[in-house]
Structure 1
Amino acid sequence: MNISGRNKLTGTIKDIKNGTVMSQITLDVGGQLVVSAITNDSALELALNVGDNVKALIKSTDVMIMK
């Protein structure tokens, strides 16, 4: 699959919290936690499980830096 997004992070799923409509997926990316909110339908379609190795694609027009 080709995709235009360039900000791809490889990580391992550490936690999945399913809500009424959305699922919160927590990834460990090199010791840093990245949290994504996706629909429950998408989580089921991807058959996500704790321990799975996945890629997070970040597509944004703004990235803020703070020091």
Structure 2
Amino acid sequence: MKISARNVIEGKVLEVHKGATTAHVRLDVGGSVITASITNEAVDELGLAVGGKAFAVIKASDVMIGV
């Protein structure tokens, strides 16, 4: 599979926390943590589990920072 996103970061699943419809998935990427919000259905389809390998794919036209 080819994708247009240029920011693909390999990591290890630290935590999968399912809510009513959305899950928060935390990845360890070289000592830093990236958290993604995805559907529970996507978690199941991808077979995400703690300790497994996964990739954070980041494609955004804007990056915002606030304090």
Tell me the TM-score normalised to structure 2 length. 0.92
Tell me the CA shift for residue 47 of structure 1.
0.9
Aligned residue type for 2:9: L
Residue 63 of structure 2 corresponds to which residue in structure 1?
Answer: 63
Residue 41 of structure 1 corresponds to which residue in structure 2?
Answer: 41
Q: Percent identity?
A: 41
Tell me the CA shift for residue 63 of structure 1.
2.3
Tell me the TM-score normalised to structure 1 length. 0.92
Output one character per residue of 1:18-49: Cα deviation in whole Å (capped at 9) or x when no partner: 00000100000000010000000000100110
2:19 is equivalent to residue 19 of structure 1: yes
Residue 42 of structure 1: SS of its match in structure 2? helix
Count of residue pairs the alignment pairs up = 66
Residue 60 of structure 1: SS of its match in structure 2? coil
Distance 1:10 1:38 in 2: 17
Residue 10 of structure 2 corresponds to which residue in structure 1?
Answer: 10
Provide structure 2 residue ranges, at least 5 long, that are not aligned to the other structure.
none
Provide structure 1 residue ranges, at least 5 long, that are not aligned to the other structure.
none
